[in-house]
Amino acid sequence: MIEEVMQKLQAEVETLHHELNVTLPAALEKAIAMGDLKENGDYHAALERQRFVQARLAHLTSRLTKLSQIDTSKIPADRVGLGSKVLVRDMDTKEEETFELVISDSMDLDLGHISVASPLGSALVEKKVGQIAQARLPFGTRKLKILKLQTLHDLAAGDLQQ
């Protein structure tokens, strides 16, 4: 999971580097050739885009550095953690939901992803099967009983805890 996110971010870094080093200089050169830079919209747009690309590259580089420092051996093998798939039952509504705890860069709500840093994700982290997690959310507190847990390590081994 982490490797996939890093590859995706690295691909964006490469695309932005190309834009910063090839596309934008050409656009700036073309705009400068038009003359009067004071009222040259193409020139100002290229400069603004250049600043955005530089800021985005700095952000992506920071994220890649942080992601490369994640030690998957420190992710718990018997409790909810990064990469876990969790089947929970809402104690009030009795509805069951499945969540996968991911880093924010790889979130896809349609797939049931929640960030480990979110209130719901934080409440689930470190819990075991049978325990109840309480998540304080803007619309109230949710109590979720953990029914099944598949950790990052289980996924690699093809296991499911009940």
Q: Where are the domains of the chain?
A: 2-70, 73-157
Is the per-residue pLDDT at 162 higher than 60?
Answer: no
DSSP string, 87-147: EEEETTT--EEEEEEE-GGG--GGGTEEETTSHHHHHHTT--TT-EEEEEETTEEEEEEEE
Q: How far is the C-alpha of 98 from the C-alpha of 2, rounded, in Å?
A: 20
The model's pLDDT over 2-47, given as tens digits with 9 standing for 90+, comes to: 677 778 889 999 999 999 999 999 999 988 888 778 888 888 999 9
Q: What is the model's pLDDT at position 119?
A: 93
Q: How confident is the model at residue 67 (pLDDT cuts 50, 70, 90)?
A: confident
| Long-range contacts, stretch 129-138, CB < 8 angstroms, 24+ apart | 129/161, 129/162, 132/91, 133/80, 133/88
CATH number at 2-70:
1.10.287.180
Is the pLDDT at 133 greater than 70? The verdict is: yes
Tell me the one-letter amino acid at 21. N
pLDDT value at 135 more than 50:
yes
Identify the residue with better confidence: 70 or 98.
Answer: 98
Model pLDDT for residues 79-130, shown as the tens digit of each residue: 998 888 999 999 999 999 999 998 877 777 777 889 988 999 999 999 999 9
Query: What pLDDT score does 161 carry?
Result: 47
CATH of region 73-157: 3.10.50.30
SS3 81: coil
73-157 and 2-70 share a CATH fold: no
Average pLDDT over residues 143-159: 81
Q: Does residue 141 carry a pLDDT above 80?
A: yes
Say what the pLDDT of residue 53 is. 96
